[in-house]
Amino acid sequence: MADLTPDLLTLLKSVDTPTVCNAIEVIEGKRGFDRFTRGTLMASDPAGVLVGQTRTARISALAPSPEAPEKVRARRMDYYRHMADGDGPRIAVVEDIDGAAAIGAFWGEVNTTVHKGLGLAGALTNGLMRDLGDMAPDFPVLAGSVGPSHGFVHVTEVAVPVTVFGLTVAPGDWIHADRHGAVVIPDGYLASLAAAIGKLHASEAIVLDAARAPDFDFARFEAAWVAFEAART
């Protein structure tokens, strides 16, 4: 985690995920970066920003686990052990294998409080959340939907690659996520993100500053856009 300095973490938490997605294209020098979620997520905190390394698992809730109770309990403890492992910011990424039929809210008052206590910074799931007024503060959850019940929720796999909203995430991946969705930050890109974000903001300012000026008109727009296209990725 040497590349994630306190200053970089502060910067990444101050920008939205579209900015990070664009900054990755600045690093690559081209468009086409596609390691991001598809579709619309629900955010427990519209202002919440998640930055960290992933801890992954799969769950199901439509029916009780067919396994012996002691095996189910042991895997759940393995899950929390995996979540707690490591230093620095961590994000839980949990795939609900019930998909569109999912009914069980894994994320509510208890689990957000426990995960926050274990040092995690938030959660990303295609599954459900509940207890919207009682979730742990400063623990953003990005979910597929909201529901009242936990169903028969149980952990099926721990520390495996998972897919949520079309994005495949491996344990230990770096992600940035907010109400827009999530992106995986490719290996080796962290150290370059601050400069890329600075370059992105500078290029966007060419058009934004012109558009906000009181004398803005088409001629000024056209000149600004030519300069913007020369500066952007």
Binding positions for Mg(2+) are 131
Nearest-angstrom CA–CA distance, 8 and 56: 24
Nearest-angstrom CA–CA distance, 25 and 100: 32
Q: How many residues does the chain have?
A: 233
Nearest-angstrom CA–CA distance, 195 and 155: 40
DSSP assignment of 43-72 equals ESSTT--EEEEEEEEEEE-SS--SS-HHHH
Those residues whose C-beta lies under 8 Å from the C-beta of residue 175, and which sit 6 or more positions away, are 50, 51, 52, 53, 54, 91, 93, 124, 169, 182, 183, 184, 185
Buried b (16+ CB within 10 A) or exposed e, 210-227: beeeeeeeeeeeeebeee
Known binding-site residues for substrate equal: 130
Question: Is residue 215 within 8 Å of 221, Cβ to Cβ?
Answer: no
User: What sign does the dihedral 186-192-198-200 (CA atoms) show?
Assistant: negative
Nearest-angstrom CA–CA distance, 50 and 177: 5
Nearest-angstrom CA–CA distance, 216 and 11: 31
Known binding-site residues equal: 130-131
